[in-house]
Amino acid sequence: MPVRILFTLTFALLCASSIGCVSRRITIQSDPPGALAYMDGEELGYTPVSTDITYYGPREITLVKDNYETLTVLQKVRTPWYQVPPLDFISDNLLPFRVTDRNGFYYRLQKREAVRTNDLIDNANRLRDDARFGP
């Protein structure tokens, strides 16, 4: 009986003293650097940029930079083996050391083609006519 009580108290003390042992971090890089990065609609900052995440799964990443096409990607963030249930309980709560899971993603932005003013005006007039009279 005393061994069972000692084991239970030790287990409870380990659980109570643990504050979580897995840190999840994403780093986004772009070519060229300095693109404004958004993840799931929230602004992160200019690339290269890193942020902590709470859960794995697909993330919508958007990169915006002047004179470059805006890039939006649905990026899958893979779950490592030690974060699959029921192992995640052990890695999140019972490990006596910190585990850092880092995910890096690299994106190449495409130069935006310059649109001639006359072409833009012609396209606007064509759209206006289509709206008035139908295509």
Q: What CATH number is associated with residue 119?
A: 2.60.40
Q: Stretch 53-65: mean pLDDT, rounded?
A: 94
Classify residue 69: in a domain, yes or no: yes
pLDDT value at residue 91: 78
Rounded distance between C-alpha atoms, residue 11 and residue 117, angstroms: 72
Identify whether the C-beta of residue 25 lies closer than 8 Å to the C-beta of residue 4.
Answer: no
CB count within 10 Å of CB 31 equals: 10
Residue 13, domain member (yes or no) = no
The model carries a pTM of 0.70
Residue 12 lies in a domain: no
Q: What are the respective helix, strand and coil percentages of the chain, to the nearest 5? A: 30, 35, 30
Amino acid making up residue 37: A
Q: Classify residue 132: in a domain, yes or no.
A: no
- Going 123 to 128 to 131 to 135, the CA torsion angle's sign is negative
Q: Terminus-to-terminus CA distance in the chain, angstroms?
A: 86
- Give pLDDT, residue 15: 58
Confirm whether 52 is domain-assigned.
yes
Q: How confident is the model at residue 13 (pLDDT cuts 50, 70, 90)?
A: low
The reply to whether 134 falls in a domain is no
- pLDDT, one tens digit per residue, over 74-85 is 999 999 988 888
Reading the block at residue 99, the tokens are: 């585990």
| Containing structural domain, residue 95 | 21-125
Q: Do 94 and 20 form a contact (C-beta atoms < 8 A)?
A: no
- Residue 8 included in any domain: no
Residue in the block written with tokens 């490990």 = 95
Count of domains observed in the chain = 1
Residue 131: strand, helix, or coil: helix
Structural domain includes residue 93: yes
